[in-house]
Structure formats: C-alpha cells, structure tokens
Amino acid sequence: MNVLTIGGAMVDTIVVIDSDKIEQMKMLNAESSFLLLEEGVKTEADQISSSIGGGAINAAVAAARLGHRTSTIVRVGRDPKAGTIIDRLVEEGVELNSIVTDEDEPTGASVIVSSHDRNAAVFTYRGANTRLQPGDIPASAFEGKNLVYVANLSNNSADCYPLIVERAKTAGAELAVNPGVRQLTARYDDFWSSLCKIDILSINRTEAQALMPRLLQSFSEGGAALAVKSGDPIPPLAKRGLRNGGYEMTLVKFMGALMELGVGTVVLTDGANGAFIAQNGQIHFREAQHVEAGATTGAGDAFSATFASYLSSTKDVFQSLGAAAINAASVVRFVDTQSGLLSKEALQHELERVTNPSIYSWQI
C-alpha cells in the first residue's frame, strides 16, 4: 500500500522530571491540570533528550514500519534540525521527494515536559510548519496513493487543506484526517465542507468538544445515551458526554451527527479511558492497553496512523482498532513519540497474543 502523510515536522527536546521536584495542580471542577515551575530556581531533570516528532513525521514512520511505501509532505527550515529529521526518514525508508525547504523560517521545535501522570506539557514553536503553499501540494505527489493521511495543519498551511482534500479524492485515495483544535476553530468552514469526503476522521476528546459549536447549529444538544447491555462497562465518555460552553451532547448523538454529515468512519480517543469507533451505524469501544507510561505524547498520532493504515489495507475495523490500541500503548512506554512504534511483524504478534481483547459494540 502507498501512503502519503501531510502536516508537521518537529525536533522535540524532552525533559523528564521526577514528581517530587515539580508541583502538580489539578482543578476540582474542571478537566485541567497543571505542572508548576518555580521561578528563579534550577530544577533538576532526570533526563533531557532530543528526538524527532510532528504529526506527519510520526504518521510516516508508523506507516513505514508497518511495511507500507510511504512519503510525506512537510516544510522544514534550512538548518541542522531539518537534517536530523531527514536522516531519520532515510533510516525509516520514507521517501523524501515531497519535503520542502523554507528559506526564511526554521524547522519546527518543541519542548516536552514529562512528570507526574506523564501527560506531558508541550511548548511548541511551529516555524516552517505554518508555511505550506499550494505549490508544495502538487498533484503528482498523490498519484498512486492508496491512503492520504492529513495531520494537524496550522496558519497558512491550514489554508492548503481544501486543495489537499481535492488532490486526494481526485487521485482516488482514501482520506484520513487528524485535525487539531486550531484547525477546527480558526479554519472551521473549510473543515466543515470537507466532512462528506473524509473516509476516516480521528479526533480526541478535546478536539471533539471543539467541534460541538458548529454541530449544534445543525443538530440540537442532548441526545440518546449509549444503549449499554447488562454486564458491559460504561466508558467514562459515554457516561458524561461531550461539553462545550455550557452545552452538552451525548456520544451517540455526536458520532451519529458526523456520520450523517458524510464521514465514513469516526475515531474518538479518550486517552487512558479507551477509544470509540463509529462506522455503519455502530459504535465500537476498546479499552486502552494499560502500561507504565514514559510520556503520553505521540500516542494519539500512533493510534490514528495505525488505525488508518490497517483499515485502509484490511477493511477490518476490529483488527484495526486492536492494532491501533496496541501500537499507541507501546509508544506511551517511551518518552519520545517514535521509539515505541512497532513493526508489522511485532504488531501482528501482539494481536495474536491478545486472544480476548475487551471490545464492545452497540447500535447507534
């Protein structure tokens, strides 16, 4: 299978701090928590390292390790960080012919702080990632592609999203989209008009709640609860629903609305609480694999890219859901976003080893 990924490329500086050296504050009546850095003092770190990241690069490495011929469209600066990214892609066998060099902006970079729950805080400088141009999206890059995976796009790069959708569908590729909150708010009209062309939409709970205001214009709030069978667990997100600005929408109504608008398959992840897949009038839920976490950064990219790659190649939603959960859990074990990404052989071995996964299905 031929895969093209589009989005961001980053060099990550990862700082791991022991929990007793940095304070954590959790809100009682909200979902936010904070890591608190003390001013004017040096905080001892357990580890400081550098690695490669970014949505498009993480997805490209995931697809390449699963045995797919993979290329990526990203924009990098003319600097050593770009060389580091390209070296990694060469090592992973990802084709480089669609990478664009920006003469003015540096390669994107981030600082990831991991402590306590390992749900890392991230400081991001997007740099060249914001500067994709229509000329960087040639039709030739899409020729022969079976799957086009679009990661988070921001600023000027997000303006290219309609062209990317057009190129993918003209080429006859399946379109998988994993947008970020900024794209869903500042560039919502473009995203809304593309929903009927998206084959696989992957979002997390925060991104889902960012979608709610526009959905509420066409669909009322509230909705039916998940019809859970006796003995089945009630996942936390199915119990509480989605909330934004004082409005609430049940999981069933949210997923059903997106499918009514034309999305083929909806993937909604909720971190350690598991993931939901809506397809063909059904919702499937799989509990997350529980592992000792190094950092949660990159788990969403691993889940989304693995699910899209498996579903596009196998058409088996249950195998795709299992593979995505296993690969995401493997990534969580490490502090960086790529060390845990499994090869096709290793992932297949894990799928066969887990003989009775906790997957539940309900009619919408």
pLDDT, tens only, 26-79 = 776 666 778 777 788 788 888 888 999 999 999 999 999 999 999 999 999 999
State whether residue 354 is helix, strand or coil.
coil
Average pLDDT in the 243-252 region? Answer: 92
Residue boundaries of the structural domains of the chain = 2-20+45-363
Evaluate the CA torsion angle 65, 71, 74, 77 in order and state its sign. positive
Phi and psi based region of residue 41 (left: phi greater than 0; alpha: psi -120 to 50; beta: remaining)? beta
pLDDT at 122: 84
pLDDT of residue 116: 65
* 2-20+45-363 topology per CATH: UDP-N-acetylmuramoyl-L-alanine:D-glutamate ligase (3.40.1190)
How far lies 223's CA from each of 210, 246, 257, 265, 321, in Å? 18, 15, 10, 20, 26
Q: Which two tokens stand for residue 92?
A: 């992973």
Instruction: Enter the DSSP assignment of 9.
Output: -
138 pairs with which residues across the strands? none
33 CB contacts (<8 Å, ≥6 apart)?
A: 24, 25, 26, 27, 117, 119
Q: Which of 271, 279, 202, 278 is nearest to 237 (CA)?
A: 271
Rounded to whole angstroms, the Cα distance separating 6 from 153 reads 8
Place of tokens 């999203």: 161
Helix (H, G, I), strand (E, B) or coil at 204: strand
Is the per-residue pLDDT at 142 higher than 70? Answer: yes
Q: How does pLDDT run across 286-327, given as a tens digit for each residue? A: 988 887 777 778 899 999 999 999 999 999 999 999 999 999
More confident residue, 272 or 105: 105
The answer to whether 165 and 194 have CB atoms below 8 angstroms apart is: yes
Task: Say whether pLDDT at 338 is over 70.
Answer: yes
Report the predicted TM-score, pTM, of the whole model to 2 decimal places: 0.93
| Residues in Cβ contact with 316 at an 8 Å cutoff, skipping those fewer than 6 apart | 310
Residue 343: phi and psi, rounded to 5, are -75, 165
